[in-house]
């Protein structure tokens, strides 16, 4: 019996021990699996962090944008090279500890590019940067500064366009031509009558001699001479606008670029399987922030860029391939705006209206066409507002400020000096404190520009400037990666394979 008890205890202990060993082995395997999974996830995290740490340094330094150059210096997206880079950061982590981890295969199951969603990815980064930089108070100040002026400037531009399209100068020309023709006809008739009378006079010498002593010659008084500035202003209007308003000592950039291979003119590459949800925003705040971003990172006439087109903000408004053409487009719009503002100021200023009416009547009387005074008055209003607007634009292009709404005290060019516009432009112009600068006008003009146009043309200018850098001639924004979803298969201890999928993005 004692031997049987010892044997039964031994078997019982053996069963218990085998169960314990099984539990220990299972526990060890579970720990190993957990360690393997943790190490694999850690390697993926480190790999993605390291990969996204290799953002394009030029984009970050010059434009405060975070993107990976997926083309690796070439013109085509090279995802294989980007993935190899990811693997190079993962493998050292997988080799740590005693785990036998081997990366079998992997790749990108999704990625997002800067130009995706019509440029919304690029837009979001720009807006996020400006919001973080300015803060809520700065954003509020920007909104107050420009949105209140947007409608006034839109109305002024429309008024200026209507003034230019009103045919006032054409009507003036018609009246003056008609007056000239009537004058010639009258002069011809007068000469004809004078010739006929001479025959009668010299036909009878007695009558002639008898009447000579009894007739007294009376001269008709001439109307006082007045200077009509309209013909001079008409000639000035035919001159190149930029030659009138741009300071001669600063000159105009003659830079040109090819637009055919820029974002807005080519077929873009697109990301896959990684849409950005709820990314698009059309709020006024986002628009203002994006425009402020453009003003701070792109060049304009007052602060030109050093590469590509110098007047980059003007390109956003003009869309032409040369600086001169884009500056011309902006100058024309500014002229219309200022004309609309100045016509309104003339019409509401009783003193200036009286001066215009008096001069119009004097000119009409001088040409013996008093009924044409109204037509001449309309032409004078256009000419005076045009000349005043030229002085305004010269001030803006010189870096000064011009008031959005003019008071009589802000008016610069007198009616008497209208004919001397070319000589008086710089001596008459005023820099008005509290007025709008050239850059302020650009900001308001951008508000009326479509969102899509601002996005694509803004990316155009970034591409063009980077391509002017040595070694970056093939740079493309649609090869710049903003987000990645990566998936890898890792074999652990030569037996089990784990699949890990993770996403990472800059925002």
Indicate the length of the chain as a whole number: 507
Contact 455, 121 (CB under 8 A): no
Between the alpha carbon of residue 346 and those of residues 44, 413, 420, the distances in Å are 71, 12, 19
Q: Is the dihedral of CA 328, 330, 333, 334 positive or negative?
A: negative
Residue 415 is given by DSSP the state S
Residue 486: what pLDDT?
92
Predicted confidence (pLDDT) per residue in 99-153, tens digit = 778 888 888 999 999 999 888 999 999 999 988 888 767 777 777 777 778 788 8
C-alpha span between 503 and 506 (Å, rounded) = 11
C-alpha span between 307 and 316 (Å, rounded) = 16
Mean pLDDT (whole number) for 49-59:
92
Distance of alpha carbon 42 from the chain centroid = 45
C-alpha span between 312 and 319 (Å, rounded) = 10
Q: Which residue has the higher pLDDT, 3 or 416?
A: 416
- If pLDDT is split at 50, 70 and 90, which confidence band does 177 have? confident
Residue 432 scores a pLDDT above 60: yes
Residue 212 scores a pLDDT above 50: no
Kindly report the number of other CB atoms within 10 A of residue 74's CB atom. 14
Residue 448's SS3 state is coil
Residue 218 scores a pLDDT above 60: no
What's the N-to-C CA distance of the chain in angstroms? 79
Contact 84, 471 (CB under 8 A): no
C-alpha span between 66 and 507 (Å, rounded) = 9
Question: Nearest Cα to 276, choosing from 453, 59, 110?
Answer: 110
């Amino acid at each position: 019996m004692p031997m049987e008890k010892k044997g039964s205890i031994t078997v019982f202990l053996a069963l218990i021990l085998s169960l314990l060993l099984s539990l220990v082995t299972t526990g060890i395997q579970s720990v190993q699996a957990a360690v393997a999974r943790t190490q694999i996830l850690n390697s993926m995290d480190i790999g993605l962090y390291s990969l996204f740490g290799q953002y394009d340094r030029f984009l970050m330094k010059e434009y405060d944008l975070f993107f990976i150059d997926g083309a690796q210096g070439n013109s085509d997206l090279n995802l294989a090279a980007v993935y190899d880079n990811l693997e190079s950061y993962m493998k050292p982590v997988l080799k740590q500890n005693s785990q036998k981890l081997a990366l079998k295969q992997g790749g990108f199951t999704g990625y997002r590019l800067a130009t995706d969603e019509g440029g919304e990815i690029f837009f979001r980064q720009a807006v996020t940067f400006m919001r973080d930089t300015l803060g809520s108070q700065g954003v509020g100040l920007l909104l107050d500064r420009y949105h209140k002026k947007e409608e006034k400037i839109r109305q002024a531009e429309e008024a200026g366009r209507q003034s230019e399209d009103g045919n006032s100068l054409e009507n003036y020309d018609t009246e003056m031509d008609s007056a000239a023709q009537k004058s010639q006809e009258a002069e011809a008739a007068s000469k004809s009558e004078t010739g006929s009378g001479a025959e009668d006079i010299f036909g009878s010498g007695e009558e002639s001699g008898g009447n000579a002593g009894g007739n007294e010659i009376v001269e008709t008084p001439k109307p006082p001479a007045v200077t009509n500035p309209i013909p001079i202003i008409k000639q000035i209007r035919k001159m190149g606008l930029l030659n009138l308003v741009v300071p001669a000592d600063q000159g105009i950039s003659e830079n040109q670029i090819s637009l055919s291979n820029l974002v807005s003119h080519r077929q873009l590459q697109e990301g896959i399987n990684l849409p950005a949800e709820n990314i698009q925003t059309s709020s006024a705040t986002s628009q203002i922030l994006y425009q402020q971003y453009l003003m701070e990172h792109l060049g304009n006439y007052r602060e030109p860029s050093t590469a590509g087109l110098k007047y980059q903000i003007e390109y956003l408004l003009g869309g032409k391939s040369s600086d001169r053409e884009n500056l011309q487009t902006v100058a024309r719009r500014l002229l219309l705006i200022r004309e609309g503002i100045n016509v309104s100021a003339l019409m509401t200023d009783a003193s200036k209206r009286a001066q215009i009416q008096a001069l119009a009547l004097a000119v009409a009387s001088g040409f013996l066409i008093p009924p044409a005074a109204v037509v001449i008055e309309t032409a004078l209003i256009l000419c005076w507002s045009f000349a005043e607007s030229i002085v305004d634009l010269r001030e803006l292009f010189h870096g000064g400020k011009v008031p959005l709404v003019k008071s009589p005290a802000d008016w610069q060019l007198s009616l008497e000096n209208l004919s001397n516009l070319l000589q008086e432009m710089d001596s008459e112009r005023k820099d008005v404190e509290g007025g709008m600068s050239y850059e302020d006008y650009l900001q308001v003009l951008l508000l009326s520009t479509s969102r899509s146009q601002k996005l694509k043309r803004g990316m155009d200018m970034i591409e063009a400037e980077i391509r002017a850098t040595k070694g970056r001639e093939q740079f493309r924004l649609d090869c710049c990666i903003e987000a990645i979803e990566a998936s890898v298969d890792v074999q652990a201890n030569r037996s089990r394979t784990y699949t890990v999928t993770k996403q990472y993005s800059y925002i």
